[in-house]
Structure 1
Amino acid sequence: MARAGGLPVEAGSSLAPLRQDDESFADFAYRMLCDELIVLDIKPGEPLNDEAISRRLGVGRTPIREAMKRLESDHLVVAYPRRGTFAAGVDIKDLAEISEIRQLLEPAAAARAARIASPQLRQELREFASEVGQLLPGMHSQQDLMRLDMRVHRTIYRATGSRHLEDILVRYDNLATRIWSLVLEKLPPVSEHIAQHIELLECIAAGDSEAAARLTTQHVTDFENLIRAVL
């Protein structure tokens, strides 16, 4: 899984996106397109032309095709023979199934992270919890809050120390966040929802696996209820 770093570049921005030093061209293309698909900068059903994307990102067409294959396996794009590749649709009816899977996996992931995190990682989680607390009061953009939520989730997934579990969790969080993006303008400010992460990160850092699992269950449930309230 590519590590997201720095600030994402909006689709259509005149600023050239930056590739990280340790990032392959295919990983870079995957990261950029994944972000645009998740926050719906690339709209559901929109065609993805590899030549146009190649020019926009400054990446060859072969890495673009590699990225497209990964995005297809993530259920973020759909490829049709002789028609091309399109951004996957967002179906609100998928929310219940996605939430059920997350309810099973995310508490287990948080508990695992609390059990196995190294002393160095625990300190990083404490510092990140403090950073989230400092960032939230100045965050008024719903999209910025959504990106912060994604960043916290990915930090916790990485802390599980399981590449396979991390990949699965990222995939379903991406799908959930696409649904979130679809109704983002209808939602009240979600800063309180994001603030739940502070205690969660602190519990993982403290090694309290039971509290970490309980708080994660509540967070995923609150997310589903938040979305359903505006449907």
Structure 2
Amino acid sequence: MSVAMAEGRPSLAEQAYQVLCDRLVTLRIAPGTPINDEQVAAELGVGRTPVREALKRLEADRLVVAFPRRGTFASEVQITDLGHLTEVRLRLEPLAADCAARRAKAQDRAVLTGLLTELDAAAGGQVGELIDLDLRLHRALYTATGNPYLRDTLVRYDNLATRVWCLFLDRLPGLAGHVGEHGPLVRAVLAGDGERAASLAAEHVAGFESAIRALL
């Protein structure tokens, strides 16, 4: 085990993964953009090996695609995948919300309470800030399930759904309202009301797909 991992710090590969993942999910690295591991390594101040490890994970997450002799590229956003994503998320998001309501530990509750405070003050926030808050809310809820397999699975699907969302941001009204839907959901989790939390999570996922399809 490395010193960094032993002390709880993320490895260089994990750091590279998080930076690239964030940029890919929010489309700051646009779909189809080539990703040069040497350039990324130089920018992040790490070696090429950690970047290559990160790119392998991102390929498994469907966020990048690698072609022999051509290189690695940010994957395209496939609108046709929206129905598949919703089908999975409609089953797993309510499950996660229910589990979070029943299992959230003191640390999880503290994080969710802090995010709820941010959410209450975010009505006039900038687009980037709202997207970041949305991602952090989802991840905190997934972590509160106490199930690392459910958490990791949902993070992957939420990343892909967020890419679809970001593709239509300039045409989707009420971004703050969409993010604000997490308020009642988080409150239900904090109140230990798994049934209501699950219902609100299902409504949120269904509403997301309806909003996107209205623009197609």
- Whole-angstrom CA distance in 1 between matches of 2:55 and 2:103: 34
Counterpart for residue 3 of structure 2: none
Counterpart check, 1:210 vs 2:195: yes
Query: What is the match of residue 138 of structure 1?
Result: 124
User: What amino acid does structure 1 have at the position aligned with 2:168?
Assistant: V
Distance (Å, rounded) in 2 between the aligned partners of 1:194 and 1:137: 9
> Structure 1 residue 227 and structure 2 residue 209: aligned?
no
Which among 174, 188, 194 is matched to residue 179 of structure 2?
A: 194
More displaced stretch, 142-151 vs 195-204: 142-151
Residue identity over aligned pairs, in percent, reads: 51
> Which runs of structure 1 show a deviation greater than 4 angstroms over 4 or more consecutive aligned residues?
none
The yes-or-no answer on 1:60 pairing with 2:47 is: yes
Residue 72 in structure 1 maps to residue 70 in structure 2: no
Matched, 1:40 2:27: yes
| Cα deviation code 1:46-73 (max 9, x no counterpart) | 1111111111111110000000010011
TM-score scaled to structure 1, two decimals?
0.86
2:137 matched residue in structure 1: 152
* Equivalent pair of 2:82/2:209 in contact (CA under 8 Å): yes
Alignment gaps of 5+ in structure 1 = 1-20
Distance between the aligned counterparts of 1:65 and 1:120, measured in 2?
33
Question: Is the CA contact 2:111–2:140 (under 8 Å) kept in the aligned structure 1?
Answer: no
Amino acid paired to 2:209: E
| Matched residue SS, 2:65 | strand
1:104 to 74, 91, 98: 91
SS at match of 2:72: strand
Partners of 1:42 and 1:195 in 2: how far apart?
A: 26
**Aligned mates of 1:68, 1:123 — CA distance in 2:** 33
Aligned length: 209
Q: Which residue of 2 aligns with 1:8?
A: none
Report the alpha carbon displacement of residue 120 of structure 1 after superposing the two structures with TM: 4.4
1:143 and 1:184 map into 2 onto residues whose CA distance is 11
What 5-or-longer segments of structure 2 have no aligned partner? 1-7
User: Does the CA-based 8 Å contact 2:95-2:198 persist in structure 1?
Assistant: yes
Q: Is the 8 A contact 1:98 1:172 kept in 2?
A: yes
Q: TM-score, normalised by structure 2?
A: 0.92
Instruction: Tell me how far 1:123 sits from its aligned partner.
Output: 4.2
Q: Distance in 2 between matches of 1:34 and 1:70?
A: 10
Shift of 1:158: 0.5
Whole-angstrom CA distance in 1 between matches of 2:15 and 2:163: 20
- 2:130 maps to a residue whose letter is L
Render the CA deviation track for 1:206-226: whole Å, top value 9, x for unaligned: 110000000000111111112
Counterpart amino acid of 1:118? K
* Paired residue secondary structure (2:58): helix
Residues 169, 94 of structure 1: alpha-carbon distance in 2 compared, 3 angstrom cutoff: same
Rounded Cα–Cα distance in structure 1 between residues aligned with 2:205 and 2:148: 21
**Root mean square deviation, CA, Å:** 1.4
- Structure 2 distance, partners of 1:41, 1:168, is 23
Whether the 8 Å contact between 2:185 and 2:201 is mirrored in structure 1 is yes
Q: Is contact 2:108-2:143 (8 Å) kept? A: no
| Superposition deviation, residue 227 in structure 1 | 1.4
